[in-house]
Amino acid sequence: MSLPALRLRGLRKTFPKVVAVDGVDLDVAQGEVFGLLGPNGAGKTTTLEIIEGLTSSDAGEIEILGLTWARNGREIRSRIGVQLQSTSLFNKITPRESLDLYGSYYPKRRSTEELLRLVQLEEKADAYHITLSGGQQQRLALAMALVNDPELVFLDEPTTGLDPQARRGLWDVVRSMKAEGRTVVLTTHYMDEAEALCDRLAIMDHGKVIATGTPASLIADLAIPSVVELTFDGPAPEPGAFATDLGLAVERRADLWEIPTPDPKALLPRLLESAEARAVPFQQVHIRRATLEDVFLHRTGRSLRE
Amino acid sequence: MMLWRQFAMEWRLYSRDRVAMFWTMAFPVILLLGFGTIFRDSAGPKLTVVRVATLAPGARDAALDQALVDLQLKVVALSRAEAETRWARGETAAQLEPDGEGYRLRLNSYLMAQAGATAGLVNQAWLVAQARLSGGPEPLRIPIQVESPGRKRSANYASFLLPGLLGLNLVSMGLFSVGMVNVSYREKGKFRRLAVTPLPKWIFLLGQVLHRLTVTVVQAAILLLVGYLVFGIANQGSFLNLTLIMALGTGCFMAFGFALSGFAETSEGYAALSNLVFFPLMMLSGVYFTLDSAPVWLQHVVAGMPLAPFLKALRAVFNDGAGLAGHGLGLGIVTAWGLAAFLLAVKRFRWA
């Protein structure tokens, strides 16, 4: 592998009331889709903004395509593509005009037609921005991040607030970026998105990277490949004595209990027996594969969605 | 090239914004046409005398009536009953009525300014009428001309209002087109989106400034053209002086809006802040009326704010054809405001 696309060492940023980024080290290889996964407020966006040169860091080193902000600011800006969490455009500008205008800022640019085709906005090319749907606006934001044919693309929560169909559409655009050989760094708080798109992930919480790896390796590292779920009709009760009987950790969620286990087959008879004995009023039993959600839960004791 | 693109795009987007177009281009013209027409009175205000009809009018009455009209008085002829009703309402300043063989002039003590002037003219008319009846030479009169002070070409209110609107346009351009747009760009992250591109920031800002500048020029040209075509108002001073003053005002009020935008976090906050500045400035600076009758302390305060001295100099050039020489202090005050605002703007400006 040649030069890394991105290299961070000891990145730190403190705001008056909170340490937003607390010593982050990252290496992103060229051509991979790298995800920063974490709940809101984990420091993902701040990390990204420091890398993009929008926010200054208090400490740490950043190398982007082998370049540094201190020496090569203009070149970095020419070679990266950025989609910010909210890209606001004028109400009465068309996608074609936006792409032409932003394209004109760069020495190297892709044709507007090609970009419109890539994000499937050809039909809306001459419609005012205000008439585009949320998904279309977000696809335009991705196209704008690609106007300069960038080697490295940063996407900040590209699918937040979109319906499932629009999210799939955006995922396709991200996959095509990878297919074109670009390096993509994205943030998300959706674990399904991280699993579907990312070659490698860093899970962030409270400004720190708490785990790095491929989605599969992160789950495998848990050593608890399965989770048994007992669902209730209404709020789940306290597990209390039931958990003591089993000798296992029982996580209480809104309307279910989660019991991580390496061997669900062995657990199930014991579990049903205890439930019978304690008269646990559960409705259904599910066995599922562990997900990134469980990885996060296991590492932090909290749910991603909380 | 980049600058031209930026500038052209600003104009294209602006031309699609009908609300902005209305307020900047059409609204000042509507104000000028409206007020200019309402207060159109090119011969100046006339003094009115109520003439109570004589039961059997003779040659003397006819001669007096003619003389009253010749002396530029507005004569309202009423029957005695009608005249009494009008008098009782307090609308009559002076009432000329038959009294025995002669006449009597009743003056309203509450309207002595008009009544006194009218009385003078009525007595002159009486002398003229007598001379005409006797066939003798008319008495020599000192001619009287009613006009508004300081206006060479026209006593029309429109010629007073037009420079006021030119100035007001600059203020609203600075506060709303520059200040408001800054805050909303910052709030919506438009500056941040630009900051991640290699576009030099000065090109973006200069594009904005050039666009506002050309909007101002177009706006002023439209107002001047309408003023000339509809009311016959023309610049009495040198075009160079007019341009210099307008350029100074544009710079001052643009900087003003820029500086103010540094003090608000949100568009809503800025709207409140800018209106707090805009309305007193508009009402107190002599845009629509002079402040000659305001308390002296208020006039002093207003003279220290940027708009009033600006308008004073502008009107001196535009309406009275004066030079800039007598307005050094006023223009100095405007410049000082502009410089202070510029320094503050640079200090407080934030991209995000």
Residue of A nearest to B197 (CA): A77
Residue A304 confidence (pLDDT): 65
- Considering only CB atoms, A74 lies closest to which of B189, B193, B198, namely B198
Residue B21 confidence (pLDDT): 87
Spatial neighbors of B62 by CB under 8 A, at least 6 apart, are none
Query: Which whole-number Å values give the CA distances from B124 to B121, B138, B143, B279, in the listed order?
Result: 5, 10, 11, 48
From the CA of B31, how many Å to the nearest CA of chain A? 28
Compute the CA torsion angle A143, A145, A151, A157 (nearest 10 deg).
-100
Residue B148 confidence (pLDDT): 52
Edge-to-edge strand ranges of the sheet holding A226-232: A251-252, A256-261, A226-232, A282-289
* CA B161 to chain CA centroid, nearest Å: 2
B232: region left, alpha or beta (phi > 0 left; psi from -120 to 50 alpha): left
Burial class of residue A64 (count of CB atoms within 10 Å of its CB; 0-12, 13-18, 19+): buried
pTM of the predicted structure, to 2 decimals = 0.77
Judge whether A193 is closer than 8 Å to chain B, CB to CB.
no
Asked whether B16 and B62 are in contact (CB, 8 A), the reply is: no
Residues of chain A contacting B2 with CB distance shorter than 8 Å: 104-105
Q: What is the pLDDT of residues A199-235, one digit of tens each?
A: 999 999 999 999 999 998 988 887 777 888 889 888 8
Interface of A with B in 17-56 (CB under 8 A): 52-54
- Angle at which helices B328-348 and B239-261 pack, to 10 degrees? 30
- Quick one: tokens of A134? 């949320």
The Cα–Cα gap between B186 and A228 comes to: 49
From the CA of A213, how many Å to the nearest CA of chain B? 29
- Considering only CB atoms, B198 lies closest to which of A92, A97, A106, namely A106
Q: Pick from B204, B212, B251: which is nearest to B351 by CA?
A: B204
Judge whether A108 is closer than 8 Å to chain B, CB to CB.
no
From the CA of A52, how many Å to the nearest CA of chain B? 7
CA angle A90, A95, A99 (to 5 degrees): 100
Asked whether B49 and B75 are in contact (CB, 8 A), the reply is: yes
In our burial notation (b when 16+ CB lie closer than 10 A, e otherwise), range B122-136 reads bebbbebbbebeeee
Residue of A nearest to B196 (CA): A77
Q: Give the 3-state secondary structure of residue B206.
A: helix
Q: Give the 3-state secondary structure of residue A212.
A: strand
In our burial notation (b when 16+ CB lie closer than 10 A, e otherwise), range A185-218 reads bbbbbbbebbbbbbebbbbbbbbbbebbeebeeb
- E strand map for chain A: 6-15, 18-28, 33-37, 59-64, 80-83, 152-156, 183-188, 200-205, 208-213, 226-232, 251-252, 256-261, 282-289
Residue B171: its H or E element? helix B157-172
Q: What is the pLDDT of residues A268-294, one digit of tens each?
A: 888 888 888 888 888 899 898 888 888
Whether residue B9 and residue A106 make contact (CB cut-off 8 A), yes or no, is no
Residue of A nearest to B15 (CA): A92
Residue B223 confidence (pLDDT): 94
What are phi and psi for residue A12, nearest 5 degrees?
-145, 135
Residues of chain A contacting B193 with CB distance shorter than 8 Å: 82, 84, 87-88
Residue A30 confidence (pLDDT): 95
Residues of chain A contacting B188 with CB distance shorter than 8 Å: 86, 88
Asked whether B52 and B80 are in contact (CB, 8 A), the reply is: yes
Spatial neighbors of B120 by CB under 8 A, at least 6 apart, are none
Low-confidence ranges of chain B (pLDDT < 50): 43, 150-153
The Cα–Cα gap between A302 and A38 comes to: 11
Tell me which amino acid residue A137 is: Q
Residues of chain B contacting A93 with CB distance shorter than 8 Å: 13
Q: Pick from B11, B7, B5: which is nearest to B25 by CA?
A: B11
Residue A266 confidence (pLDDT): 86
Whether residue A88 and residue B13 make contact (CB cut-off 8 A), yes or no, is no
Tell me which amino acid residue B28 is: P
Residue A114 confidence (pLDDT): 94
From the CA of B188, how many Å to the nearest CA of chain A? 6
Burial class of residue A42 (count of CB atoms within 10 Å of its CB; 0-12, 13-18, 19+): buried
Among B192, B202, B208, B350, pick the best mutation site for testing chain A contact (most A Cβ within 10 A): B192
Interface of A with B in 87-106 (CB under 8 A): 87-90, 92-93, 97, 101-102, 104-106
Edge-to-edge strand ranges of the sheet holding A18-28: A18-28, A6-15, A59-64
**How many pairs of residues across A and B have Cβ atoms under 8 Å apart?**
47
The Cα–Cα gap between A273 and B249 comes to: 87
From the CA of B11, how many Å to the nearest CA of chain A? 12
**Parallel/antiparallel/unpaired status of strands A152-156 and B74-78:** unpaired
- Which long-range contacts does A302-305 make (Cβ < 8 Å, 24+ apart)? A302/A39, A302/A205, A303/A253, A304/A37, A304/A38, A304/A39, A304/A189, A304/A191, A305/A39, A305/A189
Asked whether B306 and B253 are in contact (CB, 8 A), the reply is: yes
- Considering only CB atoms, B198 lies closest to which of A78, A86, A97, namely A78
Residue B146: count of CB within 10 angstroms of its CB: 13
Tell me which amino acid residue A300 is: T
Low-confidence ranges of chain A (pLDDT < 70): 1, 304-306
Residues of chain A contacting B199 with CB distance shorter than 8 Å: 105
Whether residue A54 and residue B192 make contact (CB cut-off 8 A), yes or no, is yes
Among A48, A55, A64, A88, pick the best mutation site for testing chain B contact (most B Cβ within 10 A): A88
In our burial notation (b when 16+ CB lie closer than 10 A, e otherwise), range A1-40 reads eeebbbbbeebbbeeeeeebbbebebbbebbbbbbbbbbe
- Considering only CB atoms, A88 lies closest to which of B17, B189, B198, namely B189
Whether residue B198 and residue A77 make contact (CB cut-off 8 A), yes or no, is yes
From the CA of B19, how many Å to the nearest CA of chain A? 12
Judge whether A107 is closer than 8 Å to chain B, CB to CB.
yes
In DSSP terms, B247 is beta-bridged to none
H helices of B262-325, in order, are 267-284, 296-303, 307-320
CA angle B23, B27, B30 (to 5 degrees): 170
The Cα–Cα gap between B208 and B157 comes to: 35
Q: What is the pLDDT of residues B319-341, one digit of tens each?
A: 888 888 888 999 999 999 999 99
Residues of chain A contacting B189 with CB distance shorter than 8 Å: 84, 86-88
Whether residue A92 and residue B198 make contact (CB cut-off 8 A), yes or no, is no
Spatial neighbors of A225 by CB under 8 A, at least 6 apart, are A219, A262, A289, A290
Residue A51: count of CB within 10 angstroms of its CB: 25
Whether residue A105 and residue B196 make contact (CB cut-off 8 A), yes or no, is no
- Considering only CB atoms, A88 lies closest to which of B12, B16, B188, namely B188
- Quick one: tokens of A83? 């989609």
In DSSP terms, A188 is beta-bridged to A37
Residue of A nearest to B200 (CA): A105
* CA B176 to chain CA centroid, nearest Å: 21
Among B14, B196, B202, pick the best mutation site for testing chain A contact (most A Cβ within 10 A): B196
Whether residue A84 and residue B193 make contact (CB cut-off 8 A), yes or no, is yes
Whether residue B195 and residue A54 make contact (CB cut-off 8 A), yes or no, is yes
The Cα–Cα gap between A92 and B71 comes to: 63
Asked whether B80 and B106 are in contact (CB, 8 A), the reply is: no
Among A56, A97, A104, A131, pick the best mutation site for testing chain B contact (most B Cβ within 10 A): A104
